Amino acid sequence: MTDQLKQAINAAKNAQTNEQQAEATRIASSSTGDQTFDMSESSYKTSHTAIRKARRFAMQGLYEWLVTDRRFDVDGKLGWKANAPNDIAARTRATNAMHTVHIGYYHEMMRDIPEQIEALDALITQHLDRDIDKLDTVEHAILLIGAYELQNRMEIPYKVVLDEAMKLNNHFGATDAHKLINAVLDKMAVELRAIEVQADTNANVRTSQKAAAKQAETALADSIEDVTTAENPIDSESTASDKPRISANNTAVKRNSASKANANISEFKASKQDNTDAKSQD
């Protein structure tokens, strides 16, 4: 390896290291001030899978925030606050490989959900059978994400919001927690997405009506066929032609053919004998 090639490799490595350090510094510096995130990044993934991963990281970040700063707020221990959502987001990006995550959506949730926590908790509480502080923290975080998407992300179908909440619970939550999460978000969807839910209900009704009509039509056709069969019984041995079918296995036919052949032979012998007698008389 030549010295020039070694210098080029070292220069590339140094440039990459400097870029990573600059990125970490930028993220860390943004966490010291207001919760401002760079939403203009062009390198993050925006696929469905990338958005799902963003939800997972946001769920974990919100969980951490709920058990630290948010809990200290509720308990009145403001002096203990030292784990703001933007600090959690900066630390998460610095310690995880997030090149396959929709970073923009992750930052959005980590910024907007804590800012809207009071309003989102009020929406959730309307459909709970207990105080919100009695919720498991994982369930609370999942419900916050679901409530946020139902209220603010109208481009995401409500069924997708519910399905993604179930996937988050399967990944992080308790076994039976999906019942509560699904019930709360389903009721919330009726409230926040009334037009969408009604359209989906109407579509399901039309589909059910078409299926019922097709089933009734099939049953009617079967009934008509049964009545026709009863009035015109079909002989399983009859054929389209009136001529009797001759089977190769029919022994009677074989005997008739053999008898006819024997008669022909006897007739031939008799005729031959007559000719012989006539010649002898001459």
pLDDT in tens, 108-152: 999 999 999 999 999 999 999 889 999 999 999 999 999 999 999
Whether the CB-CB separation of 184 and 127 falls below 8 Å is answered with: yes
pLDDT at 247 over 70: no
Q: Does any domain span residue 231? A: no
Domain count, the chain: 2
Q: Would you say residue 262 lies in a domain?
A: no
Here the tokens at position 105 are 């959506």
User: What is the span of the domain harbouring residue 101?
Assistant: 22-33+42-115
Last-in-domain residue among 81, 115, 149: 115
91 vs 22 pLDDT, higher one? 91
Q: How many whole angstroms separate alpha carbon 168 and alpha carbon 172?
A: 6
Residue range 202-224: average pLDDT? 77
Q: What is the pLDDT of residues 174-189, one digit of tens each?
A: 888 999 999 999 999 9
Q: Do residues 102 and 44 lie in contact, with contact meaning Cβ atoms separated by under 8 Å? A: yes
In a domain, 58, yes or no: yes
Which tokens go with 260? 């006819």
Same domain, 134 and 188: yes
Residue 249 lies in a domain: no
Global pTM reads 0.61
Asked whether residue 30 carries a pLDDT value surpassing 50, the answer given is no
Q: Measure the CA angle with vertex 255, ends 253 and 261; round to 5°.
A: 105
